[in-house]
Structure 1
Amino acid sequence: MWTGRKIVIGAAAVTVLPLMAAPARAAEPADATVVPIQITGDPAKRFNLVVMGDGYTPADMPKFRADLSKHLNDLWTIEPFKSYRSYINVYAVEIPSGESGVSCDPALSSPRRTTPLRMAFWSGCREDGIQRLLVMDSAAAKTYADLVPGATQQNRQILALANSDTYGGAGGTYATASGGNAMSALIAPHELGHSLGGLDDEYDYYQRGVPGGTYTGPEPASIHHTLLTEHEMKTQKKKWWRWLGERSESGGTIGRYEGGLYFSKGVWRPSRHSMMKTLGYYYDQVARERVTQRISAKVNLVQAHTPTDTPVGNDRVLWVETMHPAGHRLSVTWTVDGKTKGKGPNLDLSRLHLKKGTHTVKVTVTDPTSFVRDPSIRSSAALTQTRTWTVDTSLKTPPATVPVDFSSSTPTDKPVGANSVVYVETTHPVRFAPKVRWELDGRRVHGGDRDISLARLHLSNGTHTLVARVGSNSRVWTIDAERPTVAFALSKAAQSRLRPGHTPEYVFDGPFTMRLTGTDDRPGVVVSEFRVDGDGWFNYFGWPTDSAAPWLFTADGTVIDSLTYGKLGKGRHTIEYRATDPSGNTSKPQRFTVTLH
């Protein structure tokens, strides 16, 4: 739920307060502990996700760590966080609370607790509040986030988890989510869609169970809401016209679906049920493009480079160090006086045999991700950066002794997945570029100058060892190429047909349940998903009221808090299922069919 702006419901205007449950009090960070969870680089050069808990006593702290682990493992299965995980540092701020739990949970009559962040349901324990709107003392949150060295308001995002099993969250400058609800790990990426991506809710209601009315305003500023028809979007080249007609990442087709911005009619969204409308599905392409832009804008594509402030001689190597997405490579192109002369992180000027005089060398670093189609986003500093040098052939570069070594790399303390891109950066001698040699299980393999795409190696299942060598130094990674497994269990069927080599078939005369159990050969949370009849992949979290309960399918669905879950019309359906492990490996989808009478 988005906060901090005016929302019109019918004829009434309601101002939703910013994330402030009560008047701010001085935060006391002395007892808080900053715990690095994932470090991909210098925090001054990374996007820093700072996650803090509220209402967790010292005895509750193991629960906070477990809640955080679940949230992160779900987040890393969702694009674009999955592909840009390597851009993100994650820090936990463990704040011991004197009381367990948060205020007004689950009812207004529930205790009002004294906790460091003053987190509270009901919009901050307000009589006119919304039960699921979970707010906090934003000034206190900032004070605790400031404990993370190198993380600033410009390069960080705060996410606060409440010690609660009640469904709730909020998204404004900062994001909140309940820590222990069955769906809480899906609340966080939805709220980050607000706080990080600036996305709006696609709900067709504001108060659950109350129709949202008809939108009568002008063309919305929201990038994923419009009054335009598909034809008008195409001819005017506005809103999501570049994505129209494509299969949505959240299921169905990118098009025009009525409802959004808390209105039931009169305004349209791109997909039937993206994450900004229905928790459990992915972002659609429109939302994913925006979040990709916002993550990338938190870092510099060019992390370091040969100084550009004075002319250089043509007897040296120019270099750049770039970011390295987890799933693909950036494009690095060098030009001299406007003509392309090389690709990759280094340009050896001595090999170009430049004519006497001065020349202009330019390097362009671009992220070619397919997640972005808008040229204005592609050409922005978030996804394209350049550096320029003046080369004067009369200059001689003074000799310098620079030991050949690694300067940074993909972290080696955790296994990498079979489809990852692994990178290294080296020191920068003046007259040559150190050569990186790659070995897989003791054998030389071809890789890039500074990275290697493991997907191109088509690794067999199991564990592999990757080694990068430069000079006399080496770095070693364990590759987890063992996909997770996931098993399904259904309630008793009226009929079943199980034949080797064929899709299992089941017939039910009424409601039935499905349980998915994902397992892996390594510790960590395995995230299971399913989809029905080719629709969008949906996160299997158990059941909305109980994460330990199986999913329930019925002909008309089950209504919980005015939302319908598990609706499966009568007839024959195909259900696919898969799982993703902590290393990012996803199992091959399997399937079965059900016929519901």
Structure 2
Amino acid sequence: MSSSRSVTAPTVRSVVAAAAALLVAALLVVAGSPRSADAQPATADGDVTPLQVSGPPEESLNLIVLGDGYTADELDDYYADVDKHLNVLWSIEPFRSYRNYINVYRVDVASAESGISCDPDDGNVRRDTALTLEYAEQCPADPNARGITFGEGGSEALEAYVDEIPGVTPQNRQTLTLANTGTYGGIGGRNATTSGGNSLGPYITPHELGHSLGELQDEYPYYDRGVPGDPYTDEEPDSAHHTTLTSGQLRSQHKKWWRWLGEESLSGGRIGRYESGMYACCDIWRPSRHSMMRWLAYPFDQVSREVMTRQISGRRDLSQLAADATPAGDVAPNDVLWVETPHPTYHDLDVRWSVGGEDVGGTDGARNLDLSELDVEAGEEVTVDVSDPTEFVRDPALRESAAMSFSRTWTVGESAPPADDELAFSASTPTERQVGGEDVVFAETTHPGGVEPDVRWTLDGDPIDDADGSGSVDLGSLDLAAGTYELTATLLDGGAPVDERRWTVDNVAPTVEADLSRPFKRIGIPRRAPLRIYRNDLTMGLDPSDDQEGYVVAEFRLDGDGWHHYYGWPDAPEGTPFHFTPRGTTIKELVYGALSPGGMSWAPFEKRKPGYGHHRVEYRAVDAAGNIGEVTSFRFVVVPDEKHAAERPRR
């Protein structure tokens, strides 16, 4: 962004914006455009492809994705894995609503050998890979090994690749390395890892980012799988989502998640106190029965989501909202002051202007303020205050922190010569991908002195009158019919167009088909779908689809519990359906697919009742643009077979 009339030198934001444009252009020259699925395999060493750039790296949280154990001939598999992991991430809050705060760069790294070292499900041998990912320092690894770490020289090699991306620093970046393996695994930290090809790998990613970005802790009741943890004996933990206090104490002392108590949890049930967490079996409590930090494929609950929202907004360690404005100091009485803010996907930040402490009427949300229309006098102070009205945050201390709010004050002084910056778009919602039908699309401009940018928006060539002159347009307010549109932002100077940005608007909801195993009996019910009767188990395959490119996510919920992402089946070939049984199936000391009251996921030592009887499954899809499809459902009954007849529930 550029300066106002009160200074002659460009602002830091304008320099950064120009540098970012050069950076993106340079990266695209080096890496080419994002590769399609049928592109020829690359032999690149460290080529960088910007997958999503909505702002300068210095003003963003930067996610750098790398791969290890993918040979040059397997880079197409790597690209597909990256697309799947990212689209799953964008379907999970708060990443879905704050994706525009994050720049994403993909680094292409080809390894000499396929796979990674000491993989317990793939030979358990040492391999020659670029980033030396491994399940253990020495092979063979334990059959249940699940931590994917960097071996000798791996971290140094990663840093060398990342250092090639200008503007990315340890304080504003997060790396994620996908291991070319179908074995479950991953680890958190500033340089997180995950399984590229495991069915649960895309859900390891947000869990590990919960550790890495949010400093959230595991909510497991164990440290070693299958072995109950010891009771918790320490003092009240620093963890935002663990406590030793009772619900009454949380409320009366205004501690931890007291503001969320009683709310319906995003991951099922109600926010309250659920025993176990931080690897302890008992004497410590967490907010939800099952959430992202306890069982994969459930969403973050509200407590963890609030922490993650603050961390994404503050750009990790910087703890500063990426907002900028006319440089502080004296401004001329005829200046046009400006402020630029980050842009969540589904809402705008609140912007309030005041002169001498009094609100300036009619300017709510405006990113520019023309002082010549206000008859301001020398010595008066003009202030802009920016805040995020998101419902994701209830703690006033977080909402008012520098990570989520911004303020700047100027003093009206004498006139000054204008800056000579040219009028142009400087940042926007990424144009390389489709935007959803509910998105708030933005386009920022430079700020030559004394000029209020004039942005005109059209949809399929028709003017969007309510958005004239605005830096953003709320597509959700247009009540669009289902379909695909072209959105255009045109920047005018004296009525003549000087710059333009275009987006494809995907307002077609994704769909999903369910493939159920054959029941042993169907019962017809008038005006309702038949009721399926199963003996002891059933399988469910979900096949989501969309009319646009990009991985489509399917999710479902059982008996009104939390929405759970569909991933097929753990440690099974792609396409293997999800398997429901009364108590669930134990795989590597974790339980999946339980119909038991209390959820589908358990540690095997946790007591649970068999889930015989009536059940209902709802399912839906989320596409690459963030559109959520309609909910469809089916009902079924599970009864014991002869082997489990003794477990038949009593009436």
Deviation at residue 240 of structure 1 after TM alignment: 0.7
Deviation at residue 435 of structure 1 after TM alignment: 2.5
Which residue type is aligned with residue 262 of structure 1? Y
Quick one: distance in 2 between partners of 1:129 and 1:506? Answer: 38
Is 1:267 matched with 2:284? yes
Quick one: distance in 1 between partners of 2:303 and 2:570? Answer: 27
Q: Quote the residue 1:441 is aligned against.
A: 460
Task: Decide which of 585, 589, 614 is 1:558's aligned counterpart.
Answer: 585
Quick check: 120-129 or 104-113, which moved more?
A: 120-129
Is 1:242 matched with 2:259? yes
Is 1:318 matched with 2:337? yes
Q: 8 Å contact 2:378–2:411 — kept in the other structure?
A: no
Deviation at residue 425 of structure 1 after TM alignment: 1.5
Deviations 1:431-463 (A, max 9, x none): 341232222233222127211111111211111
Q: Quote the residue 1:20 is aligned against.
A: none
Quick one: distance in 2 between partners of 1:123 and 1:191? Answer: 21
Deviation at residue 227 of structure 1 after TM alignment: 0.3
Quick one: distance in 2 between partners of 1:557 and 1:73? Answer: 28
Task: Decide which of 289, 294, 297 is 2:314's aligned counterpart.
Answer: 297
* 1:369–1:498 distance in 2 versus 1, CA, 3 Å: farther
Is 1:357 matched with 2:378? yes
Q: 8 Å contact 2:68–2:129 — kept in the other structure?
A: yes
Q: Quote the residue 1:216 is aligned against.
A: 233
Deviation at residue 96 of structure 1 after TM alignment: 1.3
Deviations 1:195-254 (A, max 9, x none): 111000000011111111211111111111110000000000001111110011111110
Q: Quote the residue 1:591 is aligned against.
A: 633
Is 1:486 matched with 2:486? no
* 1:30–1:458 distance in 2 versus 1, CA, 3 Å: closer
Deviation at residue 468 of structure 1 after TM alignment: 2.0
Q: Quote the residue 1:14 is aligned against.
A: none
Quick one: distance in 2 between partners of 1:325 and 1:207? Answer: 39
* 1:148–1:429 distance in 2 versus 1, CA, 3 Å: closer
Give the secondary-structure state (helix, strand or coil) at the position aligned to 2:133. coil
Gaps of 5+ in 2: 1-42, 596-610, 640-651
* 1:368–1:147 distance in 2 versus 1, CA, 3 Å: same
Quick one: distance in 2 between partners of 1:204 and 1:466? Answer: 49
Task: Decide which of 156, 159, 168 is 2:185's aligned counterpart.
Answer: 168
User: What count of residue pairs does the alignment treat as equivalent?
Assistant: 565
Deviation at residue 511 of structure 1 after TM alignment: 1.1
Deviation at residue 399 of structure 1 after TM alignment: 5.2
Q: Quote the residue 2:135 is aligned against.
A: 121
Identical pairs, percent = 49
Deviation at residue 504 of structure 1 after TM alignment: 5.0
Task: Decide which of 73, 82, 103 is 1:68's aligned counterpart.
Answer: 82
Quick one: distance in 2 between partners of 1:588 and 1:249? Answer: 18
Q: 8 Å contact 1:37–1:91 — kept in the other structure?
A: yes
Quick one: distance in 2 between partners of 1:124 and 1:141? Answer: 21
Quick one: distance in 1 between partners of 2:111 and 2:122? Answer: 21
* 1:72–1:34 distance in 2 versus 1, CA, 3 Å: same
Which residue type is aligned with residue 549 of structure 2? P
Deviation at residue 478 of structure 1 after TM alignment: 1.4
Task: Decide which of 348, 361, 369 is 1:329's aligned counterpart.
Answer: 348
* 1:504–1:428 distance in 2 versus 1, CA, 3 Å: farther
Which residue type is aligned with residue 359 of structure 1? E
Give the secondary-structure state (helix, strand or coil) at the position aligned to 2:134. coil
Quick one: distance in 1 between partners of 2:44 and 2:434? Answer: 34
* 1:179–1:499 distance in 2 versus 1, CA, 3 Å: same
Quick one: distance in 2 between partners of 1:94 and 1:270? Answer: 40
Q: Quote the residue 2:369 is aligned against.
A: 347
* 1:79–1:429 distance in 2 versus 1, CA, 3 Å: same
Give the secondary-structure state (helix, strand or coil) at the position aligned to 2:347. coil
Q: 8 Å contact 2:44–2:109 — kept in the other structure?
A: no
* 1:518–1:500 distance in 2 versus 1, CA, 3 Å: farther
Which residue type is aligned with residue 98 of structure 2? Y
Give the secondary-structure state (helix, strand or coil) at the position aligned to 1:34. strand
Task: Decide which of 99, 104, 121 is 1:85's aligned counterpart.
Answer: 99
Quick one: distance in 2 between partners of 1:123 and 1:489? Answer: 42
Q: 8 Å contact 1:123–1:133 — kept in the other structure?
A: no
Deviation at residue 141 of structure 1 after TM alignment: 2.2
Give the secondary-structure state (helix, strand or coil) at the position aligned to 1:508. strand
Q: Quote the residue 2:28 is aligned against.
A: none
Q: 8 Å contact 2:121–2:183 — kept in the other structure?
A: no
